[in-house]
Amino acid sequence: MLMIQSFIIDFLILLSLPFNGLDYSEAISLEMQLPVCIECHSDLVGRDMMHYPVEDACDNCHESTGASHPSADSLGFRLMDKIPELCYYCHEEKEEMDFTHQPVAGGDCLGCHDAHGSSEASLMRSPDPDLCLSCHNRDYRSDSSETLNIRRLVKGRMKAHSAIEGGGCMSCHQSHGSDSRALLVDRFPEADYLPALTENFELCFLCHDTDLLNAQETEWGTGFRNGKKNLHWLHMNGNKGRNCRMCHNIHGSPQSFLIEKRLDFGNWEMQMNFVPEEQGGSCLPGCHGKLSYQR
Ligand code: HEC
Ligand code: HEC
Ligand code: HEC
Ligand code: HEC
Ligand code: HEC
Ligand code: HEC
Ligand code: HEC
Ligand code: HEC
């Protein structure tokens, strides 16, 4: 279709110009270029969200090589600079953050953004969480770091964290960088044990009831209780509280309540043996014999 269209336009242009092909650098003034370009490149405009400079003029980013365009043996245009330098002509390079997302540090802006326009906000190539999962569908391993395959956790297991369905990955993560580890929007340390204070698990308590952690006895604060006795509190109080991630997998799990089946505990892989029941549940972890709770 484009080829036929371009042929017709080429033909019309040929009729009106004295030379073979179209020399944009000289023959046509800058203001006139955009409508001409759009004749053939209409798929790049008219999207729900347009990148402002694209609606302004194509040569905000592309420059003519001087060759005629389109033509079989030359591209006719090149980008005015490499990515990300081109983007920084108009956008500020963000101030230093403690943790920068690797594709941002590596200048792979087009891994997430479409340079022309998109149906998504912020020129995202696809909606959250698909955007994030387009890369996080594999393990990343290097000498200095390891990042697990998140798609496997949220798509391949029985239960994904409902926050993902509600607000996507960005309900907990920043896209470019963050002052919290793992690009988190708020504090959530990695240590297995730490003081059982709400501010240490700030991320979770953006959405969850703090009674879960603070109320020694409760009828509403959590379902993890024996009668009124709060078993979250039992496992997390004082200076040596357990981290949520010792029992829960925050992205997704093979069973209810985001409970993980086994967890790495130093060099030891500990089984949880959690069995949910109508009014409670039981577990038989490495830490103690089989115990059950009843609400
Ligand atoms: C007569 C039709 C036609 C017009 C007018 C036209 N183009 Fe193209 N352009 C094409 C075709 C055909 C291709 C090759 C297929 C493709 O990549 O879409 C192309 C490719 C391109 C490419 C990609 C080159 C590459 O690196 O692969 C750029 C950039 C481009 N055009 C920019 C422009 C700009 C800017 C204008 C206006 C100044 C313009 N075009 C006007 C038909 C046209
Ligand atoms: C903000 C900068 C910017 C502006 C303005 C811009 N482009 Fe692009 N364009 C790019 C970048 C960056 C690429 C390379 C995309 C890639 O590699 O994924 C590109 C690639 C292209 C391509 C190759 C095919 C494609 O879709 O990737 C065409 C054709 C094109 N541009 C045409 C145009 C036309 C026509 C205009 C004006 C209506 C325009 N561009 C305005 C940045 C821009
Ligand atoms: C010629 C100037 C110019 C260049 C080059 C440029 N931009 Fe932009 N960009 C703008 C302007 C103007 C806006 C709209 C004003 C704003 O929101 O700050 C914008 C907006 C954006 C937005 C926000 C859109 C929204 O809806 O919030 C993103 C994302 C973006 N640009 C990414 C990029 C990327 C990635 C590149 C490099 C490929 C780039 N820009 C290159 C001028 C430019
Ligand atoms: C991992 C995906 C990803 C990468 C890589 C990425 N961005 Fe973004 N960017 C986003 C998302 C998502 C948003 C909107 C939500 C937000 O602000 O976090 C955004 C917002 C923006 C905005 C508009 C809001 C603002 O912060 O001013 C600009 C401009 C922008 N990005 C430019 C860039 C540039 C330039 C690069 C390359 C250095 C880049 N982005 C790389 C995902 C990404
Ligand atoms: C273009 C590919 C790409 C996209 C899209 C992408 N990421 Fe990443 N992300 C990476 C790479 C590469 C790493 C570094 C992996 C490594 O080397 O261990 C990374 C690392 C991370 C990390 C770990 C950071 C740390 O310090 O441990 C988080 C969290 C993350 N990404 C979240 C997201 C979220 C949320 C989105 C969607 C907004 C997203 N990513 C989109 C490529 C991508
Ligand atoms: C409810 C909050 C939450 C949501 C929603 C969420 N994450 Fe995370 N993510 C975390 C936390 C917390 C960590 C730190 C891991 C830990 O402490 O075990 C993390 C870690 C990561 C890491 C680093 C993993 C590693 O091996 O180092 C990546 C990558 C990541 N998330 C991507 C995503 C993607 C992609 C999505 C959307 C599909 C997403 N996250 C949704 C909370 C969340
Ligand atoms: C000792 C293991 C363990 C630890 C540590 C733990 N949880 Fe739980 N959590 C559970 C169990 C078991 C359930 C299932 C309760 C049930 O049967 O309804 C649960 C359920 C939940 C629920 C579902 C609603 C509710 O309260 O029943 C949320 C939300 C929750 N936990 C958040 C957290 C947060 C946040 C942390 C860290 C501050 C945490 N958990 C630490 C074992 C744990
Ligand atoms: C952006 C909001 C948000 C954040 C942040 C968040 N959650 Fe959730 N979480 C939800 C929603 C929504 C549900 C589903 C409704 C419910 O059970 O409360 C849920 C459910 C849960 C469940 C129960 C799953 C089930 O099967 O019933 C657990 C466990 C849980 N979250 C743990 C955590 C932990 C641990 C953190 C911190 C790392 C956290 N959440 C951060 C929104 C969030």
Mean pLDDT of 153-165: 93
pLDDT at 17 over 90: no
Tally of structural domains, the chain: 1
Does residue 243 have its Cβ closer than 6 Å to ligand 8?
A: no
**4: number of Cβ within 10 Å:** 8
Measured in Å, residue 236 CA sits from the centre of ligand 2 at 54
Atom of ligand 1 nearest to the CA of 13: 1
Question: Which protein residue's CA is at the shortest distance from atom 16 of ligand 8?
Answer: 162
- What ligand 1 atom has the least distance to the C-alpha of 36? 5
Return the DSSP state at 94.
P
Question: Cα(first)–Cα(last) distance of the chain, in Å?
Answer: 67
Looking at per-residue pLDDT, the higher value among 140 and 68 belongs to: 140
In a domain, 246, yes or no: yes
**Residue 34: pLDDT band by 50, 70, 90 thresholds?**
confident
Taking the CA atoms of 143, 149, 153 and 154 in sequence, report the sign of the dihedral they define: positive
Which pLDDT tens digit goes with each residue over 46-77? 899 999 999 888 989 999 888 888 888 888 89
Q: Is the CB of 204 under 6 A from ligand 8?
A: yes
Shortest CA distance to 174 belongs to which of 203, 205, 139?
A: 203
Look up tokens 């029941």; give the residue. Answer: 277
Run of H or E residues at 93: none
Residue 287 pLDDT exceeds 60: yes
Of ligand 8's listed atoms, the one at least distance from the Cα of 204 is 37
Confidence of residue 96 (pLDDT cuts 50, 70, 90): confident
pLDDT in tens, 250-270: 999 999 999 999 887 778 888
Q: Is the CB of 58 under 6 A from ligand 3?
A: no
Residue 78 has pLDDT above 80, yes or no: yes
Does ligand 3 come within 6 angstroms of the Cβ of 53? Answer: yes
Q: What are phi and psi of 124, to 5 degrees?
A: -65, 140
Classify residue 190: in a domain, yes or no: yes
In the predicted model, is pLDDT for residue 81 greater than 80?
yes
In this structure, the residue with its CA closest to atom 16 of ligand 4 is: 175
pLDDT tops 70 at residue 7? no
Q: Does the pLDDT of residue 276 top 90, yes or no?
A: yes
Residue 87 located in a structural domain: no
Domain region containing 215? 186-295
The reply to whether 67 falls in a domain is no
Tell me which range, 3-7, 33-37, 38-42, 264-268, is most confidently predicted by mean pLDDT. Answer: 38-42
| Inside any domain, residue 262 | yes
Q: Say how many Å lie between the CA of residue 91 and the centre of ligand 3.
A: 7
Q: Which of 34, 44, 47, 52 to mutate to test the pocket of ligand 3 (most atoms within 8 A of CB)?
A: 52
- Shortest-distance atom of ligand 4 to CA 109: 37
Does 111 reside within a domain?
no
Q: Any residues with Cβ below 6 Å from ligand 5, and which?
A: 99, 101-103, 108, 111-112, 128, 131-132, 134-136, 140, 142, 145, 147, 169-170, 173, 175, 182-183
With respect to residue 159, please indicate whether it lies within any of the assigned structural domains: no
In a domain, 239, yes or no: yes
Asked whether the predicted pLDDT for residue 4 surpasses 60, the reply is no
Output the CA 86–ligand 3 centroid distance in Å. 10
Report the atom number in ligand 5 closest to the C-alpha of 111.
1
Q: What is the per-residue pLDDT for 32? A: 54
Closest among 23, 33, 21 to 61, alpha carbons compared: 33
pLDDT at 200: 96
pLDDT in tens, 222-258: 999 999 999 999 999 999 999 999 999 999 999 999 9
pTM of the model: 0.93
Ligand 8 centre from 162 Cα, in Å?
6
